[in-house]
């Protein structure tokens, strides 16, 4: 398993993966040593994340290999289909899975998403339009949604 740490506008980000794909991208709440040498298996991810933060990338083209249950992987696959600049509610996501009653399980799977930004769990909001919980912190969720907003304004929330 290869790892590296990069600096992003939202903090230090640890990237892990190997030839089978990315397994983990996590924003860290502490300062980490930025990796001087990026492993070849992670170069595309670093490039694409930098393009995203510069506003030059709206879609990622990376090989993913997240570890989780079959249900979690189904949720994460649906998350990848939520377009840049759009949001969806946990209820809508549950309906897409075919089980409205699975809303709590969907929210739990969303919270366990190991591929920060690449699998855009930040695009999932409450039915009332509220930001609701976010593993990276609500300030980061707000920033990401504003960054992706087609209508640049002072603040969405």
Residue 121 among the catalytic residues: yes
Q: What is the pLDDT of residue 153?
A: 55
User: Of residues 15, 42, 121, 124, which has the active-site annotation?
Assistant: 121
Q: How many CB atoms lie within 10 A of CB 24?
A: 16
Q: How many CB atoms lie within 10 A of CB 69?
A: 11
Q: What is the pLDDT of residue 150?
A: 82
Where along the chain do its domains lie?
A: 2-53, 70-148
Q: What is the pLDDT of residue 29?
A: 81
The owner of tokens 């170069």 is 43
Instruction: Please provide residue 58's backbone torsions phi and psi, each rounded to the nearest 5 degrees.
Output: -115, -10
Query: Which residues have C-beta within 8 Å of that of residue 143, sequence separation ≥ 6?
Result: 9, 10
Q: Which two tokens stand for residue 50?
A: 């930098």
Per-residue pLDDT of the chain (157 residues; tens, 9 = 90+): 999 999 999 999 999 999 999 999 999 887 777 888 899 999 999 999 999 999 999 999 999 999 999 999 999 999 999 999 999 999 999 999 999 999 999 999 999 999 999 999 999 999 999 998 888 889 999 999 999 998 755 555 5
Compute the chain's Rg from CA coordinates: 15
Q: What is the Cα–Cα distance from 88 to 78, expressed in whole angstroms?
A: 11
Q: What is the pLDDT of residue 155?
A: 52
Q: What architecture is domain 70-148? A: Orthogonal Bundle (1.10)
Tell me the CB-side half-sphere exposure of residue 115, using CA atoms within 13 A.
25
Q: What is the Cα–Cα distance from 149 to 143, expressed in whole angstroms?
A: 10
């Amino acid at each position: 398993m290869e790892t590296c740490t990069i600096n992003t506008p939202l903090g230090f980000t640890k990237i892990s993966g190997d030839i089978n794909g990315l397994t983990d991208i996590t924003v860290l709440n502490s300062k980490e040593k930025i990796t001087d040498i990026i492993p070849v298996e992670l170069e595309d991810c670093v490039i694409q994340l930098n393009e995203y933060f510069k506003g030059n990338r709206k879609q990622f083209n990376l090989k993913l290999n997240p570890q989780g249950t079959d249900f979690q992987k189904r949720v994460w696959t649906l998350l990848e289909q939520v377009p840049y600049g759009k949001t969806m509610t946990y209820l809508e996501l549950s309906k897409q899975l075919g089980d409205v009653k699975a809303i709590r399980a969907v929210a739990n799977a969303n919270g366990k998403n190991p591929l920060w930004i690449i699998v855009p769990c930040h695009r999932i909001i409450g039915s009332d339009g509220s930001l609701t919980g976010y593993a990276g912190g609500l300030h980061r969720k707000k920033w990401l949604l504003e960054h992706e907003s087609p209508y640049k304004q002072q603040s969405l929330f």
